[in-house]
């Protein structure tokens, strides 16, 4: 198979990556892509379209950076402490009201997890 040239880069959720990999025929996937598909199947918390909608909502309504919104959707934090741990990496202080709004949006989109 001919290597593909990277022409654009975009951060996506685990669910979005899963959706892209599932479109490919299994015989087209290399070892790395098969392992990545396995990972995304196990760890995506929402279907791709719902994950993208939640990221867009968090960016527009909660004024989060897209990279932070993606990380939140990938982790789907259940508590304020988990949410703070995700956002604390950059050392920013986010008002409690804004954190409450983010947590409400996440909880409204949470699916019953089977773990």
For 24-32, what is the mean pLDDT?
A: 91
Closest CA to 69 of 84, 55, 83, 82: 55
Domain 48-109 class, CATH top level: mainly alpha
Domain ranges of the chain: 14-43, 48-109
Kindly report whether the global pTM for this prediction surpasses the value 0.85: no
> Of 89 and 68, which is predicted with more confidence?
68
DSSP string, 25-40: -GGG--HHHHHHHHHH
Interval 33-61: pLDDT, tens: 999 999 999 999 899 889 999 999 999 99
Measure CA 36 to chain center: 14
């Amino acid at each position: 198979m001919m290597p593909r040239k990277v022409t654009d880069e975009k951060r996506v959720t685990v669910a979005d990556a899963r959706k892209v990999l599932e479109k490919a025929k299994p015989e087209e996937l290399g070892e790395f892509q098969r392992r990545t598909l396995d990972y995304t199947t196990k760890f995506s918390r929402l279907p791709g379209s719902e994950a993208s909608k939640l990221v867009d909502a968090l960016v527009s309504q909660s004024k989060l950076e897209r990279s932070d919104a993606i990380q939140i959707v990938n982790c789907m934090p259940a508590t304020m402490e988990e949410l703070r741990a995700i956002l604390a990496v950059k050392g920013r202080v986010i008002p409690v009201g804004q954190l409450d709004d983010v947590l409400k949006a996440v909880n409204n989109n949470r699916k019953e997890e089977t773990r």
